[in-house]
């Protein structure tokens, strides 16, 4: 059992994943913390997060793959890009949509697992008990209802910091997470038991909208500039527009404030997007918007959302000059 785990970890590293750990498919231990966050009602327009079916799946990953026995938790590093003082763009928007680029990496890892188990079967001349190349799996990349940070802690990758981000001592919190649910019984890694935040509160202090709760380690999403400029649907109220500040798309402030991100590697295997958003995008037509951001996570805002963000930032800058 341990040999296949080491083979998978080595292949994951070769493919560009910076972290790889295993845990069981059992329910996460801290679902109650997530449920309390939902009940506090800081979701903004993300009502899908409180649907009964999605809550049930976050409470038990096996509802995503009924025969799941283990979960491979992976991370892909991300560099932090310099930020403009106005119309700033989050670092992740400098890359092609990570859903599209990480999925092939995870698919290749699954193929490697199948190949390895097939070779073992040929060598032994019979089907290995439990470890069969005909296993089932499901890949999750921030698009399935799963408590990925909780599972990552249980897989030994790091701890949930005061910023609510997963933090690793080598890679900080500048990475994307991915999970592969497997019907294979792979030995779990030891859960991460330490808290590397200590008395540090840099992320709390540097958050422009003071929306981080360091006690519960959650974000008041409806005050977060990242949520407002990416996930919020519809127009801004005057208060929401003010909370956007100078952020055109996303917000990296808590990432930049974290001391664990001051020494993270600057390389990433992910390809850069063809373009990043800028103030002049207010003049784009719908067709031009799609063409410019065809490979970018900026598509998520749609053209009306991006133009809404541009108008809010410009107004905030004008107020600052008064």
Predicted confidence (pLDDT) per residue in 130-166, tens digit: 778 889 999 999 889 999 999 999 999 999 999 999 9
pLDDT at 120: 83
> How confident is the prediction for the chain on average, in pLDDT?
94
pLDDT at 232: 95
Does pLDDT of 313 surpass 60?
A: yes
| Phi, then psi, of 74 in degrees rounded to 5 | -125, 160
DSSP 273: P
Q: Where are the domains of the chain?
A: 2-82+97-182, 202-321
pLDDT at 27: 97
Residue showing tokens 């009306």: 304
Selecting among 100, 142, 195, 235, the annotated active-site residue is: 142
pLDDT at 263: 81
Task: Note the pLDDT tens digit of each residue in 57-90.
Answer: 999 999 999 999 999 999 999 999 988 889 999 9
Does pLDDT of 283 surpass 80?
A: yes
pLDDT: which is higher, 41 or 287: 287
The stretch 234-250 carries a mean pLDDT of 97
pLDDT at 264: 73
pTM of the predicted model as reported, rounded to 2 decimal places: 0.94
pLDDT at 322: 62
The stretch 226-237 carries a mean pLDDT of 96
Q: Is 249 exposed, middle or buried (0-12, 13-18, 19+ CB in 10 A)?
A: buried
Res. 128 pLDDT band, cuts 50 70 90: low
pLDDT at 122: 74
72 CB neighbour count, 10 Å cutoff? 28
The stretch 104-131 carries a mean pLDDT of 82
Query: DSSP letters of 60-116?
Result: -GGGTSTT--EEEEEEEE-PPPP--SSSEE-GGGGBS-HHHHHHHHHHHHHHHHHHH
Does pLDDT of 202 surpass 60?
A: yes
pLDDT at 64: 97
142 is catalytic: yes
Res. 129 pLDDT band, cuts 50 70 90: low
Res. 125 pLDDT band, cuts 50 70 90: low
User: Which contiguous run of DSSP H or E holds residue 312?
Assistant: helix 302-321
pLDDT at 31: 94
């Amino acid at each position: 059992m341990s040999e296949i785990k080491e083979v998978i970890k080595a292949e994951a590293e070769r493919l560009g994943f910076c972290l790889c750990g295993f845990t069981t498919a059992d329910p996460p231990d801290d679902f109650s913390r997530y449920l309390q966050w939902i009940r506090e009602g800081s979701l903004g327009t993300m009502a899908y997060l409180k649907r009964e079916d999605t809550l049930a799946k976050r409470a038990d990953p096996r509802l995503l793959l009924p025969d799941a026995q283990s979960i491979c938790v992976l991370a892909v590093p991300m560099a932090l890009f310099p930020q403009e003082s106005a119309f700033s763009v989050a670092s992740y928007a400098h890359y092609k949509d990570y859903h599209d680029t990480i999925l092939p990496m995870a698919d290749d890892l699954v193929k490697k697992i199948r190949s390895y188990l097939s070779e073992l079967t040929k060598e032994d001349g019979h089907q290995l008990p439990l470890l069969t190349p005909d296993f089932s799996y499901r890949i999750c990349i921030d698009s399935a209802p799963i408590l990925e940070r909780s599972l990552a802690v249980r897989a030994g990758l790091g701890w949930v910091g005061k910023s609510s981000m997963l933090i690793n001592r080598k890679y900080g919190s500048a990475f994307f997470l991915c999970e592969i649910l497997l019907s294979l019984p792979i030995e779990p890694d030891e859960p991460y038991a330490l808290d590397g935040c200590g008395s540090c509160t840099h992320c709390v202090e540097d958050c422009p909208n003071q929306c981080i709760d360091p006690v519960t380690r959650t974000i008041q999403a409806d005050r977060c500039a990242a949520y407002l400029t990416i996930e919020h649907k519809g127009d801004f109220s005057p208060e929401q527009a003010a909370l956007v500040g100078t952020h055109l798309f996303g917000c990296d402030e808590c990432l930049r404030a974290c001391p664990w991100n001051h020494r993270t590697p600057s390389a990433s295997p992910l390809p850069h997007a063809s373009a990043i958003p800028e103030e002049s995008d207010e003049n784009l037509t719908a067709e031009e918007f799609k063409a410019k951001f065809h490979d970018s996570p900026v598509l998520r805002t749609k053209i009306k959302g991006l133009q809404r963000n541009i108008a809010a930032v410009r107004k905030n800058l004008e107020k600052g000059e008064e």
